[in-house]
Structure 1
Amino acid sequence: MEKTTPLYSTHQAHGGKIVPFAGYLLPVQYQTGVIAEHMAVRESCGLFDVSHMGEILCEGPGALKLLNHLLTNDFTNMYDGQARYSLMCYENGCCVDDLIVYKVRDERYFIVVNAANKDKDFTWMKAHEQDVEGATFTDISHSVAQIAVQGPKAHEILAKLLPEDEFPVKYYSACFDRTIGGMHCIVSKTGYTGSAGYELYLDAENAAAMWELLLETGKEEGLTCCGLGARDTLRLEAGMPLYGHEMNETITPLESGLGFCVKFSKEEFIGKEALEASEPARTRIGLKITGRGIVREHMPVFSDDIKVGMTTSGTHAPYLGYPIAMALVDKAYAAVGTKLTADVRGRKVEMEVVSLPFYSKTKK
């Protein structure tokens, strides 16, 4: 049976179309529709319920050593409030999950994991807890709500509620002791849309009040309720990988184009030996659809009559105005400008390899 977030009744009240996702009942869109919601995030601001994500604490004198053992990135030189993206791998180098680690302070780290993987991730973490002395993992997901405020007007809206000197300054950083509308929260300068914005973590019991406060505060700026549909088109337009698509238990971070967060300079981490011994034959690419049609995930990719890979995600990109896809293909066919085709139910659709991300705040 699917769970609900603390905002379930709020979504219903605002006309959200509820669907099952990652074990939860969440809005896929509102009456405005996916395209309008997507464009709001690119041009003004959108509001997302991300409370289905998992939150886990890692605490104790051995916390840093345990994180460096479990995860591919290096967390050694982080300042308080800094966030760092990482993969968590199996011994064979394939992905358990991707996640974000925040350093709250020495010996205390706040970890955000994917909703569909939360239980699997926590089980994996607890199974390896004894690999390092003096650290424990605690799942606090049930008590935490997460609301994302994304778009170029996000700062303008939140600045009505939070003094300017209380914002996190750097991208991928957070302030852990903030109060908005009398509600304690974490304010994080992060997001999964490719647009500027913030993510707020707060007590689950305050989620509905925070949602309504933000909507009322952002009314003049056109703050729009957004669902899962826009969240997916936005992240794909921004070239951001999604677990279960661009990475999974059979794909390594190096194949996914995520080598930047695999630190071989570390003495050890789970999966290091396998990753060092492997030379990826395939890689993640971006594709602009030049033929007619939409190319979705799991479509075979061809160069002439040679199968060279498989699409992992695909959609019409509302802001760009044309269809796009990502794929895992043989490295020999990954150069920008390479012409490929996708087999869409027996029909060949023409595509061209383009650089990732498709969209960014600075890329025209």
Structure 2
Amino acid sequence: MDTPGLENSELKRTPLHAAHLKAGARMVPFGGWDMPVQYAGVKVEHAAVRGKAGVFDVSHMGEFRVTGPGALAFLQSVTTNDVSKLKPGRAQYNWLPNETGGLVDDIYVYRVADEDFLLVVNASNIAKDWAHLSAQLAAAGNVVLQDESAQTALLAVQGPQAEALMQPVTDTDLSGKKKNAYFAATVLGIPVWLARTGYTGEDGFEVFCATEYAEALWNGLLALGISPAGLGARDTLRLEAGFPLYGHEFSDSIHPLSSGYGWVVKDKLHLGHEHIRLPSPQKLIGLRLDKVPVREGYPVKLAGTVVGHVTSGTSSPTLGYPIAAALVNAEAAQAEEFMVEVRGKDHPATRTEMPFYKRA
């Protein structure tokens, strides 16, 4: 989670930095940003999201606007999913492939209007994604690419009571908004865009607003009884839900079809299409352990031979036992029992289907 070699003075700050300090957050470097890892504690915040609702500051994420008559054709050429299926007011999970079969990033695409799209990209990849998309613009026509990251704050309200808690202070009927809906609204009198999306395995809304409104929105949401939650809980929640994290389960060199997300690759021509459709030499699997939590990079063994490594691991607060995602050789992926090496000692791990947790 930490970014080595960055002093606190060099870290970027979200518009809510002062609010996090006021709330007693423990701050850590993450992707070049000074971010809250926890407030009351990871387990407490995790339980709040699973049981009621929590709010995350994800303003470190990047927002790119793609507009113009050629916007759709451009996005079709640089992503794997079918953006043409998006109607205005809808959002879509998507990939930015590179030319050799890996991913530049995994992103979300929001269609605002016929010729107006918003891309949300991972915080640590903002500069890389911008350079990549800018380079592809040379072959595109009638497209404008704008970086709106510095002007945009993003909060994620997640949990089974998210709708009920937000509805009294929202001017739009939230009950009629399906998953991946994207729409303008006001929350607490503040103009926002809401998306029924998230990264925790729970229902909820991601709330986009201008940076000058961020602190008022944050404080208002906390006053509704929504708990502040940090990156620690965000990571345990997303792993329980089986969601991949760029830099762990995806990267420039990991074949993305090693994951269970092959549905993101549609039958169309796009950058690197001939490589991304080749069979992956590895497969992402879920592992359950009895007692010992495991971390990224730990070797995974089968019959004494290293066949892969852990990409993400934690002790699941919901399930009460350690879980992990691991990237293993494809020919070993169907085995039931593995060993994970932790500080020179092997510990048994049982293959299990992901997601580890699914909302009822």
| TM-score range for the pair, normalised by the shorter chain length | over 0.9
**2: CA distance, partners of 1:334 / 1:357:** 16
Task: Note the C-alpha offset of 1:224.
Answer: 1.1
1:273 and 2:274 matched: yes
Counterpart AA for 2:324? A
Alpha-carbon distance in 2 for matches of 1:63, 1:324 = 41
- Provide the alpha-carbon RMSD of the alignment: 1.2
What is the match of residue 13 of structure 2?
4
For 2:235 and 2:173, locate their aligned partners in 1 and report how far apart those are by CA, in whole Å: 32
Determine if contact 2:171/2:187 at 8 Å carries over to the other structure: no
Matches of 1:17 and 1:353, distance apart in 2: 34
Q: 1:182 aligns with which of 166, 184, 189?
A: 189
Q: Give me the whole-angstrom Cα distance separating, in 2, the residues matched to 1:350 and 1:142.
A: 46
Q: Which runs of 4+ in 1 moved over 6 A?
A: none
Deviation at 1:301, TM superposition (A): 0.6
Structure 2's unaligned 5+ residue stretches are 1-9
Tell me which residue corresponds to 2:163. 155
State the 1:257 CA deviation: 2.6
2:257 matches 1:257: no
Question: 2:81 maps to which residue?
Answer: 73
Contact 2:169–2:189, Cα closer than 8 Å, also in 1: no
- Most deviating of 166-175 and 117-126: 166-175
1:271 Cα shift?
1.1
Once residues 50 and 262 of structure 1 are traced to their aligned partners in structure 2, the CA distance between those partners, rounded to angstroms, is 26
* Counterpart selection for 2:128 from 120, 126, 131: 120
Deviation at 1:129, TM superposition (A): 0.8
Q: Letter of the aligned partner of 1:180 in structure 2?
A: V
Aligned length: 351
Cα distance in 2 for partners of 1:18, 1:89 equals 32
Partner Cα distance (2:194, 2:279) in 1: 40
Partner of 1:209: 216
**1:21 corresponds to which of 30, 33, 53:** 30
Specify the SS of the correspondent of 1:4: coil
Matched with 1:305 is 304
Structure 1 residue 198: Cα displacement: 0.7
Q: Using structure 2 for the length normalisation, give the TM-score.
A: 0.95
Question: Which residue identity lines up with residue 161 of structure 2 in the other structure?
Answer: K
Deviation at 1:4, TM superposition (A): 0.4
Residue 163 (structure 1) shift? 4.0
* 1:312 aligned counterpart, secondary structure: strand
Paired residue secondary structure (1:229): helix
What does 1:97-246 correspond to in 2, within 5 Å?
97-163=105-171, 165=173, 169-175=177-183, 177-217=184-224, 219=225, 223-246=226-249
**One-letter code aligned to 1:123:** A
Structure 1 length-normalised TM:
0.94
Quote the offset at 1:85 in angstroms.
0.7
Distance 1:187 1:168 in 2: 13
Q: Secondary structure at the match of 1:12?
A: helix
Equivalent position amino acid for 1:358 in 2:
F
Q: Which runs of 5+ in 1 are unaligned?
A: none
% identical aligned pairs = 42
Q: CA deviation at 1:2?
A: 0.5
State the shift of 1:334 in Å. 2.1
